[in-house]
A and B are shown apart, each in its own frame.
Chain A
Amino acid sequence: MENSNEIKIRRVLEQIHDPEIPVLSITDMGIVREVKEEAGTWVISITPTYSGCPAMDMIAASIKMELSAQGYPGAEVRFVLSPAWTTDWMTEAGKEKLKAYGIAPPNPRQQVCRDELFAPDEAVQCPHCGSWHTARISEFGSTACKALYRCEDCKEPFDYFKCH
């Protein structure tokens, strides 16, 4: 019984989207860490992408509202910080959705996250034309999780979801 409830709840969570990247659900993002029942209350643990992510409060509110509407009132949302969120937790389906939306998905982790200054930019594929001939404009994009790139072939700017 409990298991089937958990599956239903996870299905509800799949329908909740990140307000800043509406093409991704919170499960695509990999921020749902645990769904469990504690003394009759469903507890959903989520982890922020970045400490200051302004979407977290809204996501927590959406989870409570949506679960309540689907027959699970009074759910509790907990924030967990450790282990810290990494783009490795983004699902493959999520990465495909990002690309179709025009945001380059995060590269596999080992390519980046170096400490040395002026490290050569990692190769990022243009989500519009598929070219690898791209250049970083800025390490920080429209949100903390993205960097701004430009395609040297199709000349379009695009967001890159940083490896983190």
Chain B
Amino acid sequence: MADARDAILERIRTGLRDVAPTDIAAEYAAIPRTYIRAGQLDLQARLHQLKERLRDYDTNVVETDAVSLPRTIAEVLRSHEQKNVIAADGLPEEILPLNFPFISERNASVDTLNACDGIVTACSVAIAFTGTIVLTHGPGEGARRLTLVPDRHLCIVRAEQVVETVPEAIDRLAPFATHPLTFISGPSATADIEMTRIRGVHGPRFLDVVLVQ
């Protein structure tokens, strides 16, 4: 196998004979990045765009403030008659409704995940321009399977986590670059049969975003 490695690298180097030796870092730094990096929208416009684009891809968006957050979460869960709900490990207790019996993530087997009514997590970043929430799977965001196997995902997004552009999100994610990262834009979907968009294939079929400001 070392042979294949050496042979491939050798073929690459031979194939690149026409490339003059250069300072690779300097050449990389000179790549033209004239695309938009920083957003223009103020907070309200940014949140508006996020809501609009989340809804455009079938996400249910509910707004609340920090004080009402636990009550709002309870209302959303009850409105879908969810009873067996798992909360991600590391979610601050004060944001969860007291009178709701959450199952904790650490006690949840795959079977529990498969049978539960839904899960609650936080996120790290949300992108208004694309209607995306990003999980870095640290405390409060769950291991990857938590937001995958259950049928309904409720995600808490704080206004200060919302950026406008993809490059702004990548900047914020840079410290987590080697974490598992999951970019979620609406519930899972397919268009493989006659390009008809069908919501809900293998990931959660329903995504609720509770936006807190």
Binding partners A and B: no
Interface residues of chain A, those whose CB is within 8 Å of chain B, are: none
Interface residues of chain B, those whose CB is within 8 Å of chain A, are: none
